[in-house]
Amino acid sequence: MQTSKRIRFSRSAALGLLSGTVLFGFAAVAQGQLQRPRIVLQPHASASASASTAAPATATTTIASAGQTSDQKIRLSQYVDKTNSFVHSTVHVGGKAVTDDERKAISEHWRLSMRLLRCRDLASNVGDQASVAEVDADLATLDAKFDTNLKALNAKAPK
């Protein structure tokens, strides 16, 4: 009988010690998060629009600002307008319809480029010019690869 009490005591002691450690860990995490700035990304205003709808080349895009400066908003808007006009002029050459491969390439490009632009904004907010230059170079490389890939996909597309 005495052994079973010891086992019960040591199990409950271990459980109490573990729960105390977990609670202490949660408190430390909660306290640490209060001191760090939080990044909140807002969804794009026209996220529910159909993927097959192509915007005209002169369309301006409404962009949700997640704590961006006016320069960052302007740079993002110019990039979106430039890329939209490139995609529209490349995909619809000769009256072709957009293929699934082209849609996949376009959505992948948007996903990567928006991540890079967000990284650029965060680096410029901190004042890290080396990271800003690196992201600009990565974005130029991504755009060049997208240019060649989209043109190749369009050449394969049926009329």
Q: What is the pLDDT of residues 61-80, one digit of tens each?
A: 444 556 778 888 999 999 99
pLDDT at residue 48 tops 50: no
Rounded CA-CA distance 27/34 in Å is 11
Residue 130: its pLDDT value, please? 94
Structure tokens at 36: 């760090």
Rounded CA-CA distance 91/97 in Å is 7
What Å distances lie between residue 115 and 22, 24, 30, 38, 50, CA to CA? 34, 34, 27, 17, 22
Domain chopping of the chain, boundaries: 1-36, 70-156
Dihedral over Cα of 5, 8, 14, 20: its sign: negative
Rounded CA-CA distance 101/106 in Å is 9
pLDDT at residue 81 tops 60: yes
pLDDT at residue 104 tops 80: yes
Identify whether the C-beta of residue 94 lies closer than 8 Å to the C-beta of residue 111. no
Identify whether the C-beta of residue 146 lies closer than 8 Å to the C-beta of residue 94. no
Question: Which residue would you say has higher pLDDT here, 64 or 119?
Answer: 119
